[in-house]
Structure 1
Amino acid sequence: MTVIGSSLLINFFLCMLCSSPECKGEDKVMQPSGDVIAAEGDTATLDCSFETSSKSHTLFWYKQEVNDFPKYILKRGYTGDDNSPEFQKHRFDAELSETSVPLKIQKLHLSDSAVYYCAL
């Protein structure tokens, strides 16, 4: 977790999970490498695009703070939409399209500084 002045730094990286029988190595999740820097109170959007042959896919977002395990934020897709109670939809939201599911974090807090994972 790094803070630069009054800005907060959000890291995000690539993660792909698949436990369904439809997962044959054709599924791919892509996140741009690098940091997103934004000021407290601002909105940040973390990009995540994917490729899958499945028509019944579900995408997930996770947050991992330093020395902690990843925490479930939300899911979007075939099995429905859901947000963890800790990550309310009015601040953490994602809209699933055919090839992407960007995570939008509104009214940023310093505590939002973390590594964010997108998973299929």
Structure 2
Amino acid sequence: MQPLVGMLFIMSLRKCLWTGDEIQQKESSLSKEEGQSVSLECTFSTTSTRYWIHWYRQYPGTGPQFILLSGSDSYSAEFAKERFSSSADKSSGKASLSISRVQLEDSAVYYCALQTTVLNLHQHSYKNLLHLLSIKDNLKNHSVSFMRK
């Protein structure tokens, strides 16, 4: 197995003050080997009865890529159906993205977002998570980094 090293950082938070919706994450760092599982977590609160936690990943030089959503409904991108899963529980205020059998292509910036529906208006409260992963092998070191302007 080759080591897979990951770090999570909080980059920014937007809070929907008039609806009381919020999503947050503590800073943490992760260290995993290729083939192991990893879980990213957010805490959230919402007064809405319908809510969704969206997860995205972004590679350098590209736009965000939708992974999946969970909450009132669930949906996954085709690539995510085998190894990615998510849960969101309003009563505990916890949401997580789990990746099984981590691979090099899982190295990316990961984002979670809270979406709610209030009076048929969609409100978004986004949380940016920086997830740096690198895999080291005998030949080269692959790493992903992110700079915020």
- TM-score range (shorter-chain normalised) is 0.7 to 0.9
What is the deviation of 1:34? 3.7
Corresponding position of 1:96: 88
SS in 1 for 2:89: coil
Q: Write the letter of the residue equivalent to 2:84.
A: F
What is the deviation of 1:59? 0.8
What is the deviation of 1:23? 7.0
SS in 2 for 1:86: helix
Q: Structure 1's 35 and 65: CA in aligned 2 closer, same or farther, altered over 3 A?
A: farther
SS in 2 for 1:67: coil
Q: Structure 1's 103 and 74: CA in aligned 2 closer, same or farther, altered over 3 A?
A: same
Corresponding position of 2:80: 87
Aligned length: 111
Larger radius of gyration: 2
- Give % identity: 29
Q: Structure 1's 85 and 13: CA in aligned 2 closer, same or farther, altered over 3 A?
A: farther
Identify the structure with bigger relative contact order (alpha carbons < 8 Å, sequence gap 6+).
Answer: 1
Are residue 42 (structure 1) and residue 40 (structure 2) matched?
no
Q: Structure 1's 93 and 17: CA in aligned 2 closer, same or farther, altered over 3 A?
A: farther
Corresponding position of 2:62: 68
Answer whether contact 2:19 2:46 (CA < 8 A) is retained.
Answer: no
Output the CA distance in 2 between the equivalents of 1:34 and 1:116: 13
Question: Which structure shows the higher strand fraction?
Answer: 2
In the alignment, which of 6, 23, 27 is matched to residue 21 of structure 2?
A: 27
Residues 48-90 of structure 1: CA deviation (Å, up to 9, x unaligned):
1101111111110111112221110001122x110001212x3
Which ranges in structure 1 are unaligned for 5 or more consecutive residues? none
Q: Write the letter of the residue equivalent to 1:7.
A: P
In the alignment, which of 38, 52, 57 is matched to residue 58 of structure 1?
A: 52
Q: Structure 1's 106 and 7: CA in aligned 2 closer, same or farther, altered over 3 A?
A: same
RMSD: 2.4
TM-score (norm 2): 0.65
